[in-house]
Amino acid sequence: MERITEELRGMGFEGEIKEDILMRDYTSLRIGGICRLMVEPFDPYSLKLLVELLNSEGQSMVVIGGGTNLLVSDEGVDEVVVRLRNWRKVEIVETYRDEVVVFAESGIPLQTLLNFCAEKGFSGLEGLVGIPGTLGGAVSGNAGAFGYEIMDRVDRITIMDKDRMEVIKRDTLTPGYRNGAVKGIVLAVHLRLYRDDTESIKNRMREFLEIKKGTQPLNEHSAGCVFKNPEGDYAGRLIEEAGLKGFRIGDIEISRKHANFFINLGRGTSRDFIGLMRKVQEEVDRRFSIMLEPEIKMIGQGINAH
């Protein structure tokens, strides 16, 4: 990792390079061991330099957004962790009578983008209010709620695949539930939105957010929904019906407010979290013959071996 750091600094790379950082400080769940190298490139050229260097060194990498849907191993991360948090540009690039196209870089917090759109009177994303993380993460996971899915509003996506930039039209992709079907690193997104009254948009956002506040533990240390909803049902309902609401392993507890959220009460570990996931999967499968599929992303040493 030291050689990678030295080479980056000597080849015109612009960005932040952090060594031996604690991943728990970069996730909403507040869990995760040491990452030997985290890199935050400031621009596409610097990202390209980074990708080329890592490929030549045979070093794997993992891209994270806001760390809000992420479980990191207590044992740390071998990959180089790449964050695009500095990529936050947003602007209106096309205007029509009833529609607009907004360009936004992938590192912009999703809620910052929603607030920008609301102020401008651009509708189509209101149901995503209260979802944490960045635009890039939202597109990769096709974030959605209240009948909204972000890929429904995507016009095109700029990605980096290996070391080459490419623009992908939305109609060439087949996204699904919590899957944007995007290969490569999401750099920026063009969103096609509708014109509407600013107050109407803000009112819808307030209504959706109040519903979320009443049903989800938004102020707790969690990674959002742990499991995907099985077709025709809800993971939270199944977990609650299995009698597991409030069940805990170590300092990881199934939320008493929403059973598809696991809460870190303070000293939770990835081992506790995965143990609780397996307990839930086994119990729900035993009771309902349904195997719940994880929605959260898991990275790090031995994360699938616990």
The string of pLDDT tens digits covering residues 116-142 is: 999 999 999 999 999 999 999 999 999
Q: Which of 239, 34, 45, 202 is CA-nearest to residue 123?
A: 202
| 208 belongs to a structural domain | yes
Report pTM: 0.91
| 66 belongs to a structural domain | yes
* 28 & 96 share domain: no
| 69 belongs to a structural domain | yes
Model pLDDT, residue 162: 80
Amino acid identity for residue 4 in this structure: I
* 256 & 142 share domain: no
* 126 & 209 share domain: yes
Q: Do 292 and 230 meet the contact criterion of CB atoms below 8 Å apart?
A: yes
Model pLDDT, residue 304: 66
CATH code for the domain of 148: 3.30.465.10
Model pLDDT for residues 63-73, shown as the tens digit of each residue: 998 899 999 99
Q: Do 143 and 128 meet the contact criterion of CB atoms below 8 Å apart?
A: yes
Model pLDDT for residues 14-52, shown as the tens digit of each residue: 999 999 999 999 999 999 999 999 999 999 999 999 999
* 96 & 204 share domain: yes
Q: Do 157 and 150 meet the contact criterion of CB atoms below 8 Å apart?
A: no
Q: Do 222 and 262 meet the contact criterion of CB atoms below 8 Å apart?
A: yes
Q: Do 244 and 276 meet the contact criterion of CB atoms below 8 Å apart?
A: no
Number of domains in the chain: 3
Q: Which domain holds residue 289?
A: 235-299
Q: Which of 89, 93, 110, 111 is CA-nearest to residue 102?
A: 93
| 62 belongs to a structural domain | yes
Quote the Cα angle for 28-221-127, to 5°. Answer: 75
CATH code for the domain of 59: 3.30.43.10
Residue 194's contacts (CB-CB under 8 Å, 6 or more residues apart) are: 98, 99, 122, 123, 124
Query: What's the alpha-carbon Rg for the chain, to the nearest Å?
Result: 20
* 123 & 203 share domain: yes
* 106 & 8 share domain: no
Residue 160's contacts (CB-CB under 8 Å, 6 or more residues apart) are: 44, 47, 48, 51, 166, 184, 185, 187
Under-70 pLDDT residues of the chain:
304-306
CATH code for the domain of 286: 3.90.78.10
| 117 belongs to a structural domain | yes
The values of phi and psi at residue 24, to 5°, are: -60, -25
* 94 & 208 share domain: yes
* 52 & 137 share domain: no
Q: Write down the residue that tokens 């979290």 correspond to.
A: 273
Q: Which of 54, 83, 112 is the last residue of a domain?
A: 83
Q: Is the dihedral of CA 195, 200, 202, 206 positive or negative?
A: negative
Q: Write down the residue that tokens 């190298």 correspond to.
A: 37
* 100 & 79 share domain: no
* 45 & 98 share domain: no
* 32 & 129 share domain: no
| 306 belongs to a structural domain | no
| 221 belongs to a structural domain | no
| 224 belongs to a structural domain | no
Model pLDDT, residue 1: 77
Q: Which of 83, 114, 129 is the last residue of a domain?
A: 83
Amino acid identity for residue 198 in this structure: T
Q: Which of 115, 27, 124, 135 is CA-nearest to residue 77?
A: 27
* 43 & 129 share domain: no
Q: Which of 53, 83, 113 is the last residue of a domain?
A: 83
Model pLDDT, residue 163: 77
Model pLDDT, residue 306: 44
